[in-house]
Homo-oligomer: A and B are copies of this chain.
Amino acid sequence: MLDYKLLEALVAVIDQGGFERGARHLGLTQSAVSQRIKLLEARLGQPVLVRSPRLAPTLLGQRLLNHAQQVRLLESDLLDQVPALGSGERRLRLAINADSLATWWPEAIGRFSERYRVLFELVVVDQEVALKRMRDGDVAGCICDSPRPVQGARSHALGSMRYRALASPAFMARHFPDGVTPGALRQAPAIVFGPDDRLQHRYLAMHGVEPPFPHHLCPSSEGFVGLALAGLGYGMVPERQAERELHEGRLQEIDPGPHLADGSLVDLAPGYVIDVPLYWHHWRQGGEVLDALTDHLLRIVDAWLMPLPAT
């Protein structure tokens, strides 16, 4: 078998973001951790880490991390069956898109965590990066807008998030005094989450407006809504769906969110919406907890997301 002491050093250095922190995490000296990684590299004849421009695993290192995480998940199943082996603490590392994390995800997994004692390590990345993280083995599951699973994984349709373009009434008065015309849309600053966020581009295309367009960049869901509330720009904000009354099985009204309800944000052009499909991807051999989480998500997600159109 592999020498897992060496692998553990690599995992700690990458997870903790440095040799000093990795060593502290393991309760070792920094030089002990360094030596373990050097020994690992000597045995493999290849580097597992690059130090610059920033600390990152090489392709080989990434494969080792992948393997180590799979082993940890399998170990957590074993610990569950043989509690005497350890503390039974289970960790799941998942990549979740920022808007899901800011809206339905916490409540959805809240119920799960009541039954399964699992600690979540959540990574927030753009959806296209999420699949890369799956492929690299950095996360055991992810939410993204593509149905195509990477090798060794499965995907399941969850539903879609509906986005509307929202802005403050003051912003509307300043930038759209004559209505939401293509000319006004070309001038009014949008808010864009990050370089991978194309929602505002798609919204403008629906109105016949091509890029470039003025925009702020704000990679935080709460900051994004905050900038809209403060009147700096308009942006595509996800609608929250009210939770179903699960006991009575009735679907409640769609909740427009507190800001639309109290008028602090208004819809630029009601009827113009963008529905983004979301899929849950997970490793096939991820162990029982991951399988149970998958079942849980599929059972409850209709309460928060809109059903995807049949294909």
Residues of B within 8 A of A89 (CB): 214
Residues of B within 8 A of A232 (CB): 106, 109-110, 113, 120
Min CB distance A12 to B, Å, is: 11
Q: Does A218 contact B (CB under 8 A)?
A: yes
How many copies of the chain does the oligomer comprise? 2
Residues of B within 8 A of A229 (CB): 106-107, 110
Cα distance A120–B226 when bound, in Å? 13
Residues of B within 8 A of A113 (CB): 230-232
- Where chain A touches its partner, the secondary structure class is mixed
Chain A contacts with B in 214-253, Cβ cutoff 8 A: 214-223, 226-227, 229-232
Q: Does A256 contact B (CB under 8 A)?
A: no
Count of residues in A whose CB is under 8 Å from the partner chain: 51
A121 near B217: Cβ-Cβ < 8 Å: yes
Min CB distance A55 to B, Å, is: 10
A222 near B222: Cβ-Cβ < 8 Å: yes
Min CB distance A50 to B, Å, is: 6
Cα distance A25–B192 when bound, in Å? 15
Q: Does A56 contact B (CB under 8 A)?
A: yes
Binds B, one of A15-23, A72-80, A278-286: A15-23
Contact code string A195-224 (vs B, CB < 8 Å = 1, else 0): 110000000000000001011111111110
Known contacts A122-B217, A214-B119, A216-B119; A230 and B106 CB within 8 A of each other:
yes
Residue with the highest number of chain B CB atoms closer than 10 Å, among A96, A120, A121, A123: A120
Q: Does A260 contact B (CB under 8 A)?
A: no
